[in-house]
Amino acid sequence: MKSARSLTKLAALVVAAAMIFAVSASAACLGVGTVNVDALRMRETASTESEILLTAAAGDRVLLLETSEQADGLWYKVNCNLTEGWMRAEYLDVSQVMDCELGTAVVNVTLLNFRKSPSTDAAVIGSLAEGAQLKVVGLENGWFKVEYEGQTGYISGEYVNFISAPSQNTFAVTLSEYGAGASDIVLVEASSDAQALLTYASTLIGCPYVYGGTDPSGFDCSGFVQYVFKHFGISVGRSSDDQYEDGIRVDEANLQAGDLLFWTSSDTAKTTHSGIYIGNRQFIHASSNDGITITSMDSLWYSMRYVGAVRILGVPGYEPK
């Protein structure tokens, strides 16, 4: 299985070479889906047992390609951030007609009619040459509403390839190592504060490890923890030792998503490493080998060197400021 970092790099390459991702109006433009939960998994096939390709955040927009009725309900095949996969329909708000920014597309035929309204009977504004880049600003019954050189009109979606995703979308991150579980809402048992915090933390997967680092150009373990909590106005210590003195101590048996976890690689130091618990005995952290990644608490080193955990979220004195 590819690492989260390698898949993040792969996604960047896909954006640069996105001509391979054609979005067809005849098969793809059933509508626009907007994610209506904090985090939603996209899978390779229409099954909760299928491989997780990425996780989209609340408010992210996806193009609906086709439907599949399964025993557990309706699924949509979607194009999310230039990647195709399947999402549970109940976690998407669907519109067949919508004015919204959907990304940038490129014409993939020699000439494409640019029309005043979404119909083959509509007047033609002009012809767009192959390779023309269009800002897609809406969808109406399988036609894309686009802006080109100061004019707004409609094109048939089967003749364009998307080269960028909606600008409002969170960069969809791969959480294939998160764990199995039947639900496709990540952290369904977490508080809303923990869901928001961990959804944000997951957007940093793939950032490199740098000793002493405190920002996305490079994090060390405690710098990553501090950065994520600071994003939500919560102040925690800079070092792992300082963070271990924050909040309240919690037993391993009572861990909740958003708790801080600690390990030591020394017989004398109290702690030397920290991370954030996400559930299913998994945690997100800055690894010296892999950068920001997700790891199991049961992996050999971490199971042997575990020190303890503290809770920050919901603890008096640690409210967002």
29 is catalytic: no
Which candidate, 133, 166, 140, 164, places its Cα nearest to that of 154? Answer: 140
Is 221 a residue of the active site?
Answer: yes
Encoding tokens for residue 218? 């490079």
List the catalytic residue out of 29, 80, 207, 285.
Answer: 285
Catalytic residue among 80, 100, 221, 231: 221
Q: Who's near 211: CB < 8 A, 6+ residues apart?
A: 220, 288
- Whether 100 is catalytic is no
Torsion of CA 21, 23, 27, 32, to 10 degrees: 120
Tell me phi and psi for residue 292, to 5 degrees.
Answer: -70, 120
CB-based contact 34:92 (threshold 8 Å): yes
From 29, 80, 207, 273, active-site residue: 273
Q: Which sequence positions are flagged as catalytic?
A: 221, 273, 285
